[in-house]
Every structure is written in C-alpha cells, then in structure tokens.
C-alpha cells in the first residue's frame, strides 16, 4: 500500500509541475517574443548555428472579442536573420514592410490568454548574445507604442506594453541572460503589504 501511495505522490507532483509554467508577463495588453506559444519562455541558448521558431504573442488582452489587427516593429541585434514569417489568423495582410508589421485580419482572432499573432523562424549564425526588441512602427497609430485593434470594432485601438516594460529592454534573448518580465508593483507597494 505504501508503494502505491509513493507512486501516486510522485505522479501528482509531475502533473502539478507540468502545469506550473505561467506566462512571463501577467499584466494586461502585453506583447512579447517567446520560444513557446504559451508565452512562458523568452530566452534560449542554442549555440552558434541553427534555426529557431519564435512566437510573437499578445498576452492578457482586455478586448473579449479578440483582435482585428495589430502593429509593432521587431528589431534584432546582429548574428540572426528572419528566415520565414508566418502571420496568424484569417487572411492576415501586412500593410507595412519588415521590420514594421502593420497587420490587418480578414476575421478577428479570438481571445486567448496568449494569442500567437506571428511565428518567426530565426536563423542564428553566431554564439554571441542576440537581443530582440519590440517597438512602435515608424508611423504608429498610437504615438510611441505598439497597438492592436479591437475584435468587435477595428476603430478602437488599444496600446500594447512590452513584456519587459519598454522599447529599450529586450523582450527575448538568444545565447544570453533571460530578460526580466514587466513588474507593475513598485518596491513601495510591496513594503506597504507589511505595514
């Protein structure tokens, strides 16, 4: 009987561990580049040569009707090339040109906690750290920020927040240290919990 109980506990801990992965950015209207569709991994260390799929994800959007379009600029440092880009959704059209993505959709992409809007295959050709940034497009719909259009009304534009907090902080890293997620809490708000 004891052996069965130990096996049960061991299997339960594996199942709990498998589901314990959480999104990196838990704030509303996030955008980031991830190594998985669930927006839980924003760094990888593959070495010098290889192809990697990265997922451009919108996380925790506030529109319950999904999105009808989105825009952002993707900048990467040296040593990597985007070999292929697959935009997600029904009839996606990029009205910009890389690295600017101004994408309209034929039908809204339905809401999900992590919405994959693009899959980018990166060719990595050096072992040095490579940083990925998300910035606003050259002529943004909302000044200074990436944005998405509401799924029910494309005239409603909503600003997106980079998963790490701003345009000058990488949202993804290849062959380097992982970027830190955007934290809404300040040290003062944390200290106030203990007063």
Supply the mean pLDDT for the chain. 83
Q: Give the per-residue SS3 of 59-85.
A: ECCCCCCCEEEEEEEEEECCCEEEEEE
What is the per-residue pLDDT across 82-116, written as a single tens digit (0 to 9) for each? 899 999 999 999 999 999 999 999 999 999 999 99
Residue 84 structure tokens: 């292929």
What is the per-residue pLDDT across 133-154, written as a single tens digit (0 to 9) for each? 999 999 999 999 999 999 999 9
Residue 26: predicted pLDDT: 77
What are the DSSP E strand ranges found in the chain?
30-34, 43-44, 50-59, 67-76, 80-87, 93-94, 100-109, 114-124, 130-135, 147-150, 157-159, 161-162, 172-174
Residue 181 banded pLDDT, cuts 50, 70, 90: low
> Could you tell me which of 92, 40, 90 has the C-alpha nearest to residue 71?
92
CATH code that applies to domain 23-176: 2.60.40.680
| pTM of the predicted protein model | 0.81
Through-space distance between the first and last CA atoms of the chain, rounded to whole angstroms: 48
What is the per-residue pLDDT across 13-56, written as a single tens digit (0 to 9) for each? 333 333 345 667 778 999 999 999 999 999 988 877 788 999 99
């Amino acid at each position: 009987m004891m052996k069965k109980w130990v096996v049960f506990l061991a299997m339960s801990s594996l199942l709990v561990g498998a589901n314990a992965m959480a999104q990196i950015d838990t704030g509303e209207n996030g955008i980031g580049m991830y190594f998985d569709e669930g927006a839980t991994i924003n760094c990888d260390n593959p070495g010098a040569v290889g192809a990697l799929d990265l997922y451009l994800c919108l996380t925790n959007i506030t529109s319950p009707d999904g999105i009808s379009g989105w825009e952002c600029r993707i900048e990467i440092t040296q040593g990597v090339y985007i070999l292929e880009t697959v935009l997600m959704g029904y009839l996606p059209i990029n009205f910009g040109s890389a690295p600017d993505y101004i994408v309209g959709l034929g039908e809204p992409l339905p809401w999900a906690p992590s919405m994959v809007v693009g899959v980018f295959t990166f060719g990595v050709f050096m072992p040095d750290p490579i940083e990925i940034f998300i910035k606003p497009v050259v002529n943004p719909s909302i000044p200074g920020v990436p944005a998405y259009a509401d799924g029910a009304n494309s005239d409603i534009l909503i600003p997106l927040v980079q998963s790490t907090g701003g345009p000058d902080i990488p949202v993804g890293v290849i062959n380097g240290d992982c970027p830190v997620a955007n934290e809404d809490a300040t040290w003062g708000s944390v200290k106030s919990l203990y007063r």
